[in-house]
Structure 1
Amino acid sequence: MTAIAKSVRRSALGLGLFAIVTGGTIALTQVLTAERIAQQAARAEAKALFEIIPESQHTNDLLRDTVLLPPSDRLATPGPVTAWVARENGRTVGLILPAVAPDGYSGDIRLLVGIDPEGQVLGVRVTSHRETPGLGDRIETKKSDWIRSFDGRSLGDPRPNRWNVKKNGGVFDQFTGATITPRAVVKAVQKTLVYFRQNRSEIRKILNEPPDTRGNPLTPDVIAGQQPEAEHS
């Protein structure tokens, strides 16, 4: 073998070894990064759950007490819905449902919505989003208290046609320079309440609770959509 051939062979082996090491490093980094992201998401979710229903308000293990509820396009989540149940001495005091606002300015806004057995909002928290920093990110509790404006609300409070931002005739504040983001969250919370109302009988059955004999019919205006507008988030 000539010196040139040996040199080419050594170079090829070196490049091959470099490619193997680089590929392995990238793959390992991706695995470790994905694991860290999953852990961070789980921590954020757990934190949000206990902000919506604090430990002082239930006696069960909220993180482990989950039920599967019927799928629905209203929540914009695929497949059956995994909901967290808060119980106090065996009595259900609240349900926390995952929901997605698919029409945020920069994509999906993932939420957790806490609802009491009467259909009243216990709290709402955003678990992930990509909204504009300084504008749409005011849906986070560390940026503003806006998300707390849902506390105590229900399908009848405000009236169905007032479930919108003030710019569109609703009762919820919009952000300066950002209307799409809060409007998307308002719409998602309202749809979650509609889902809860429509599936109340099934939910009570899953929770092994007696049927609700009062009845809660939905009128068309309760489930009516809201008109979108093309403007900045």
Structure 2
Amino acid sequence: MKTRSILLAGFVLGTFAISGVSLVAVTHEAVDGRIADNQYQAMKRKLETILPAGRADNDPLRDHIQVAARDLLGTETTQVYRARKGEDPVALVLEPVVPDGYAGPIKLLISVLHDGTLGGVRVVSHHETPGLGDKIEEAKSDWILAFTGKSLTDPPLDKWGVKRDGGEFDQFTGATITPRSIVNAVKNALLYVDQQGDRLFRPVEPAVPAEREKS
């Protein structure tokens, strides 16, 4: 009888343990799914602010590539989202990094329309000084909105700088490094897109299986 009771207790405990592990796994999966969906929706809203409304009919968040252009885009690999209308290119949205911000790297979202003009620029993350460099945030000032509609010819390339350096873009009182770095990063993103052209819109080539590579 004693042995039977021990076995029964062990069975009950084992059942509770399995149920507990299963519940944790299901809960973790549900939470992860909710977090992923929230991140997707947040990113979608950001893209909508810098892409022309109604011009694209695809989902750029599901039509993207990674590129390697550290010299112009500031990081080893950069995500590029493609907006299309049917098969026609509409815009590209790049996620470059400004490596030389005053207080550290600054992550940007830059929309470049197919005609080479900027659809908009937004700051995704930064560590700039509150009250000075943080004016790059749309919520703090409208400085970042001045890029919309600009291109490599408007202003001319030699005017892509802050006014203190002879360029056309405003700097902040007491903070020149931050806007200078962002102006340069936006110019470099435009240069990259101009160099690459429609190659950035090409479909992603499927991976070749190892067996076929050897043949």
- Which residue among 180, 195, 204 is the counterpart of 2:177? 180
Contact 1:72–1:195 (8 Å) recurs in 2: no
Aligned to 1:88: 85
Q: Distance in 2 between matches of 1:117 and 1:132?
A: 35
Q: Distance in 2 between matches of 1:141 and 1:104?
A: 17
| Aligned-residue offset at 1:41 | 6.4
Q: Distance in 2 between matches of 1:67 and 1:136?
A: 31
Amino acid at match of 1:62: P
Identity of aligned residues (%): 46
Instruction: Give CA deviations for 1:83-125 in whole Å, capped at 9, x if unaligned.
Output: 1111123321100011111111101011011001121111101
Gaps of 5+ in 2: 1-31, 205-215
**Regions of 4+ moved over 6 Å:** 35-41
Instruction: Give CA deviations for 1:33-74 in whole Å, capped at 9, x if unaligned.
Output: xx8998886665333212111553321112212123343421
Aligned to 1:111: 108
Q: Distance in 2 between matches of 1:43 and 1:109?
A: 22
Aligned to 1:134: 131
Q: Helix, strand or coil for the counterpart of 1:167?
A: helix
Q: Helix, strand or coil for the counterpart of 2:46?
A: helix
The answer as to 2:161 corresponding to 1:164 is yes
Q: Distance in 1 between matches of 2:141 and 2:120?
A: 15
Q: Structure 1's 159 and 207: CA in aligned 2 closer, same or farther, altered over 3 A?
A: farther
Aligned to 1:193: 190
Alignment of 1:16-165 (within 5 A): 44-53=42-51, 55-79=53-77, 81-165=78-162
Aligned to 2:213: none
Q: Structure 1's 176 and 125: CA in aligned 2 closer, same or farther, altered over 3 A?
A: same
Contact 1:45–1:127 (8 Å) recurs in 2: no
Q: Distance in 1 between matches of 2:180 and 2:132?
A: 13
Q: Distance in 2 between matches of 1:153 and 1:160?
A: 11
Question: Which structure shows the higher helix fraction?
Answer: 2
Q: Helix, strand or coil for the counterpart of 2:58?
A: coil
Taking only aligned residues, the RMSD between alpha carbons, in angstroms, comes to 2.5
Q: Distance in 1 between matches of 2:160 and 2:71?
A: 19
Q: Distance in 1 between matches of 2:80 and 2:185?
A: 16
Instruction: Give CA deviations for 1:169-205 in whole Å, capped at 9, x if unaligned.
Output: 110011111111111100000011111111115325x
Amino acid at match of 1:98: E
Q: Structure 1's 43 and 60: CA in aligned 2 closer, same or farther, altered over 3 A?
A: closer
Matched residue pairs, number? Answer: 173
